[in-house]
Structure 1
Amino acid sequence: MSNKKCGYYIQLDDRAEEFLRSGRFLGEGHNGIVYLLPNDKVIKIFKDKRVCEGEYNILKKTTKSKHFPQIYYYGSNYIVRSYAKGARLDYYIKENGLDYDAAHSIVGLLKEFKKLKFTKLDIRCKDLYLDENLYLNVIDPKNNYSKHCIYPRHLMKGLNKLGVLGDFLNVVYSEYNEVYDDWSFRITRYLKRGIK
């Protein structure tokens, strides 16, 4: 089997084509490709229109939250939105560890998820960017209103792999104590036995 990625073709409208002419390739993920545009904007081009629509609907519902990108344009296969500055959370932790202020930001984001009435209170480290003020930005929201997860399982699994889960749970204990026992129990059980 080849390691080469398979190419794909997406028919874009004239507006998206115009954006791409001024864009610079940033990266490619499972769902599509992202280009940096002038004025701190990005265009994310999706392989699947349904995934694009799902992400757009989440971003529409989170417009009052500063943790989520602002939408500028939306097409059937793309979204133009604000650029999330900063370091990817897992890279930041590898370089700096998880200090109290960064952990405090994560707890604040998870409280925001609850306030936004997310049914999936989870996100992966790689979908979070920490700016110079240690403020977290979400870049790839998925299924937050359609899937159910009552604790940040993937996030804590990632923090465990980075060796900072204990540091994070200490901050949860001091700042979000009402969920500490439940989250601590669930992640310990999950890591030991792989049970949700």
Structure 2
Amino acid sequence: MERAAGIERTRRAIVDAARRHLVEVGYHGLSMERVAAEAGVTRVTVYRRFGSKPSLLEAVADDLAGRSEVVPQLREALDRPDAPGAFRGTVSGICRFWGTDPDLLRRLVSLAEVDPEVRDVIAGRERWRLAQVTAAIGRLDGEGRLRPPFGVPEASAVAGAVTSFPSCDAMAADLGVPHADLAGLLIPLLASVADLG
């Protein structure tokens, strides 16, 4: 039991150090040696635990998802019995996720534009987010709630773009509001795509 707790403390220290360095210096500047030193472990420990820089990046991204509880929140939203409630819950859950660690998300999204390893990590997570949006849109379509000229592909593309991190981050900065509060603005905007009443 104590050994398992020690292993988890070490993992936590490494992931926290990697997160800080990733935000400060980016992926190319991320040094396994520097992460190890800040986490109070050896470089060998970092490599033994994570294997490579891309694996460490995956761990940082997984940690972000875990801290935000985005997966269970969006599952819960999509399990709501009414399609409008499922869609509103999905949009709200995404906005809350963006507010979990905007500094890290900013760095990851900008690095994904120029670095293939980061792009791979982000692309899978972005596909998952868009699948959740599309599932909520599909529920609305199943109840005949999409407004012309929107079909599922068009409505999903619009809702996906409006709820993307770059869009939400720009709005939060321009309006001086937390990311989580954006759902109150986005849901009325997206009511032009579907009847959310």
The TM-score normalised by the length of structure 1 is: 0.31
Higher strand share: 1
The TM-score normalised by the length of structure 2 is: 0.31
Higher helix share: 2
Q: Which has the higher contact order (CA 8 A, sep 6+)?
A: 2
| Rg (Cα) greater in structure | 2
